[in-house]
């Protein structure tokens, strides 16, 4: 299977799939490969639907969540479609396999007061402090993904037009508005950084910051003001979307800003707006109680 996996990943790379997706697919397919070999299956042509069901059951037995199992099966299905398209297998054994229903998770997010407290708690004494402020302002002010922020170059920032150019999943480009606070923080940071072309956000060693660097910066900021199950750059993305919808933003506009292909993905953020409407209704309507 390894030789086909390499061809598959090269194919996905040519289709502009993200590095993160390629890594996940490689790990998940390799895990499936090890599983079927343990069952005495040595070629992809021997794989049958029952092997997918057994694999799913083994993952459940190991405590994997439905979401994790669904993600793994999605990658393996994609691989099988590739093999069928290349005529390496005659029939796709994964066609009839059902995916476990995903658990509905309420995204972790910060309140508006939490965000005010967060910005007030940030130190502004060193060049790295100013860089971190610009990072958090940009994450909260635009809702971009961690990978998108890390990938930004100086040339992607248009301070005159108040926009940034973001390369999303599969290299899809979108232009996002730059709010006044984020713009102000970027101007201060760029003044210290200098106008040398290249990565926008630099590490101490003058290299592009990594997603691990970003995780550390954001978690350190959030832990001062809130206790959440997850504290990551994605938390600020959730917060961005939730605050927009709470203040009346159109769902489709938020979809565009987030770079979601499907509106249903954006709808997870309506959880808070519905609860807030209920609260307002209970307080305001004379017959609500």
Report which of 142, 127, 226 is spatially closest to residue 177, judged by C-alpha positions.
Answer: 142
- Please name every residue paired with 163 in a beta bridge, in sequence order, or none if there are none: 158, 177
- Given the residues 77, 81, 165, 169, select the one marked as catalytic: 169
- Given the residues 51, 72, 131, 145, select the one marked as catalytic: 145
How confident is the model over 194-207, as pLDDT tens digits? 999 999 999 999 99
Q: Which residue, chain included where needed, has tokens 């832990």?
A: 223
Residue 75: how many other CB atoms lie within 10 Å: 21
- Given the residues 183, 193, 237, 243, select the one marked as catalytic: 237
Same domain membership, residue 116 and residue 80: no
Same domain membership, residue 275 and residue 136: yes
Is 289 domain-assigned?
no
Is 228 domain-assigned?
yes
Task: Return the DSSP state at 199.
Answer: B
- Contact residues for 17 (Cβ-Cβ < 8 A; gap 6+): 170
- CATH number of 234's domain: 1.10.443.10
Q: Which long-range contacts (C-beta less than 8 Å, at least 24 apart) are formed by 55-60? A: 56/97, 56/100, 60/100
3-class secondary structure, 158 = strand
260 is catalytic: yes
- Rounded to 10 degrees, what is the CA torsion of 31, 33, 39, 45? 150
Instruction: State residue 231's pLDDT score.
Output: 84
- Given the residues 25, 140, 189, 269, select the one marked as catalytic: 269
> Average pLDDT for residues 26-54, to the nearest whole number?
91
Same domain membership, residue 140 and residue 12: no
Same domain membership, residue 185 and residue 227: yes
Is 77 domain-assigned?
yes
The strands making up 157-158's β-sheet, listed across from edge to edge, are 157-158, 163-167, 173-177
CB 166 within 8 Å of CB 259: yes
282 is catalytic: no
Q: What is the extent of the structural domain holding 60?
A: 2-85
> Average pLDDT for residues 42-54, to the nearest whole number?
90
Instruction: State residue 181's pLDDT score.
Output: 95
Out of 31-45, 66-80, 180-194, give the one with best mean pLDDT: 180-194
Same domain membership, residue 152 and residue 77: no
Residue 178 confidence (pLDDT) above 90: yes
Tell me the average pLDDT of the chain: 87
* Domain count within the chain: 2
- CATH number of 70's domain: 1.10.150.130
269 is catalytic: yes
Instruction: State residue 51's pLDDT score.
Output: 92
234 is catalytic: yes
Same domain membership, residue 157 and residue 272: yes
Residue 158 confidence (pLDDT) above 90: yes
How confident is the model over 74-120, as pLDDT tens digits? 999 999 999 999 999 998 988 888 877 766 565 688 889 999 999 99
- Given the residues 77, 84, 165, 234, select the one marked as catalytic: 234
Residue 2 confidence (pLDDT) above 90: no
Is 126 domain-assigned?
yes
Is 42 domain-assigned?
yes
Same domain membership, residue 216 and residue 180: yes
Same domain membership, residue 133 and residue 51: no
């Amino acid at each position: 299977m390894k030789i086909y996996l390499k061809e598959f990943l090269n194919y996905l790379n040519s289709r502009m799939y993200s590095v993160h997706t390629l890594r996940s697919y490689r790990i998940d397919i390799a895990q499936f490969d090890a599983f079927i070999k343990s069952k005495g299956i040595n070629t992809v042509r021997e794989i049958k639907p029952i092997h997918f069901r057994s694999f799913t059951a083994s993952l459940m037995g190991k405590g994997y969540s439905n979401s994790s199992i669904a993600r793994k099966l999605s990658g393996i299905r994609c691989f099988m479609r590739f093999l069928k398209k290349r005529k390496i297998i005659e029939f796709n054994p994964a066609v009839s396999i059902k995916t476990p229903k995903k658990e509905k998770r309420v995204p972790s997010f910060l309140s508006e007061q939490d965000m005010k407290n967060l910005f007030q708690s940030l130190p502004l004494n060193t060049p790295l402090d100013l860089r971190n402020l610009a990072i958090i302002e940009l994450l909260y002010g635009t809702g971009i993904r961690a990978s998108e922020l890390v990938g930004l170059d100086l040339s992607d920032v248009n301070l005159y037009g108040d926009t940034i150019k973001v390369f999303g999943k599969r290299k899809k480009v979108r232009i996002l508005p730059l709010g006044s606070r984020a713009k102000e923080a970027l101007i201060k940071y760029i003044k210290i950084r200098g106008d040398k072309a290249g990565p926008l956000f630099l590490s101490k060693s003058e290299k592009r910051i990594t997603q691990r660097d970003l995780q550390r910066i954001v978690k350190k900021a959030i832990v001062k003001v809130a206790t959440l199950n997850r504290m990551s750059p994605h938390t600020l993305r959730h917060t961005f979307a939730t605050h927009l919808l709470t203040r009346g933003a159109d769902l489709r506009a938020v979809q565009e800003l987030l770079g979601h292909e499907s509106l249903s993905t954006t709808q997870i953020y309506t959880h808070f707006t519905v609860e807030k409407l209920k609260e307002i209704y209970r307080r305001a309507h004379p017959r609500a109680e």
